Amino acid sequence: MEVLPTLVYINMFLCTLLSYWLWKDEKMKHKQRAKLPPGTMGWPYIGETLQMYSQDPNVFFAAKQQRYGDIFKTNLLGCPCVMLASPEAVRFVLVTHSHLFKPTYPKSKEKMIGPSALFFHQGDYHARLRKLVQNSLSPETIRKLVPDIEAIAISALESLANQQVTKTFCQTKKFAFEVGILSIFGQLNIRYREELKENYCIVEKGYNSFPTNIPGTAYQKAMVARKRLDQILNEIISERKEKKLLENDLLAHLLNFKDEKGQTLTEIQIADNIIGILFAAQDTTASALTWIIKYLHDDQKLLEAVKVTIFLRF
């Protein structure tokens, strides 16, 4: 007779605990939801991917920014995400609170650049490759490249001589690509340079397109070009190994790499990291150069001061 009330009490206690736990969980979820910025998440999994690709992605983002402000949520390419369009918000992610974030990319983009590229990784592999890249681009190495970089700049300026209108960003992109190739391969023969450029441009065009393997689409063409880039890189690597050239460029660092167990990098790892570096270096450098040119053009006093500094240094 006494067992029943005890069971009832235990049951009541468990129910109260469960309700409290569910209430707390719901409150937490609500709190978390409440912290999300404005915006819409679209359909489950595909989110707003189709909306973005059914128009110019720039128009899609501009419309969202106008409607929701500089920080809004959405769901693209299978990733729930928060889009940031203000320097303060970007500073929060990259500088003051970087420990709360880890870099991840949509799978379709990772596949195109190369899954072994360092920025898709964390831990030992990432740390070793990051150090390798930093070492291969030391100020000393770059100093030795200055005459070659200058030659690329002069040749780029000469090619503009007969043009009526020039798109600065297009030109700085070409310049950044050439400098990237120089830093990665040193003096590379023109056939390889042209083949790399041609296929890299196709990859770039497909990078932000809808990821589908349907033949003829920008994404599928880009994936084919990416495979071709692997073949070209394999040829360059084989030639370098055959000639036993003693270079100090990024490729040499990648080829000579050994971890503490004496493990070297595979050709796939080398290729993915080369394409990854080219990708990381090109648009970023080109945008920075474009802004520098704009500000120097707009402020003649600043331009004169820069000219004097450069003159004094050399």
Residues 239-278: x where in contact with ligand HEM by CB under 6 A, - otherwise, as a string: --------------------------------------x-
Q: Kindly state whether residue 288 participates in binding ligand HEM, applying the rule CB under 6 A.
A: yes
193/221 with CB nearer ligand HEM: 193
* Shortest distance in whole angstroms from residue 273 CB to ligand HEM: 8
Residue of the chain from 112, 113, 137, 225 that contacts ligand HEM (CB under 6 A): 137
Q: Kindly state whether residue 118 participates in binding ligand HEM, applying the rule CB under 6 A.
A: yes
Residue of the chain from 285, 290, 293, 296 that contacts ligand HEM (CB under 6 A): 285
Helix (H, G, I), strand (E, B) or coil at 285: helix
Phi, psi at residue 116, to the nearest 5°?
-90, 0
Instruction: Judge whether 172 and 294 are in contact, CB under 8 Å.
Output: no
Residue keyed to tokens 């050994």: 258
Count, residues in the chain: 314
Q: Kindly state whether residue 133 participates in binding ligand HEM, applying the rule CB under 6 A.
A: yes
Residue of the chain from 27, 284, 303, 307 that contacts ligand HEM (CB under 6 A): 284
Residue of the chain from 27, 103, 131, 304 that contacts ligand HEM (CB under 6 A): 103
In terms of DSSP bridges, do strands 79-84 and 71-76 run parallel, antiparallel, or are they unpaired?
antiparallel
Residue 192's closest CA among 226, 242, 233, 221? 233
**Per CB under 6 A, which region of 8-16, 141-149, 202-210, 283-291 contacts ligand HEM?**
283-291
Cross-strand pairs, 80:
75
Residue type, 118: L
Q: Kindly state whether residue 86 participates in binding ligand HEM, applying the rule CB under 6 A.
A: no
Q: Which alpha helices (H) appear in 160-217, and where do they start and end?
A: 168-185, 190-207
**Per CB under 6 A, which region of 129-137, 146-154, 159-167, 210-218 contacts ligand HEM?**
129-137
Q: Kindly state whether residue 222 participates in binding ligand HEM, applying the rule CB under 6 A.
A: no
- Alpha-carbon separation of residue 270 from 108, 183, 185, 187, 251 (angstroms): 20, 15, 12, 18, 8
Query: Furthest-apart CA pair in the chain: how many Å?
Result: 103
Residues 65 and 159: their CA atoms lie apart, in Å, by 38
**Per CB under 6 A, which region of 5-13, 236-244, 251-259, 282-290 contacts ligand HEM?**
282-290
Q: Kindly state whether residue 94 participates in binding ligand HEM, applying the rule CB under 6 A.
A: yes
Which helix (DSSP H) or strand (DSSP E) does residue 293 occupy? helix 267-298
284/309 with CB nearer ligand HEM: 284
What residue ranges bind ligand HEM (CB under 6 A)?
94, 98, 103, 118-119, 130, 133, 137, 277, 280-281, 284-285, 288
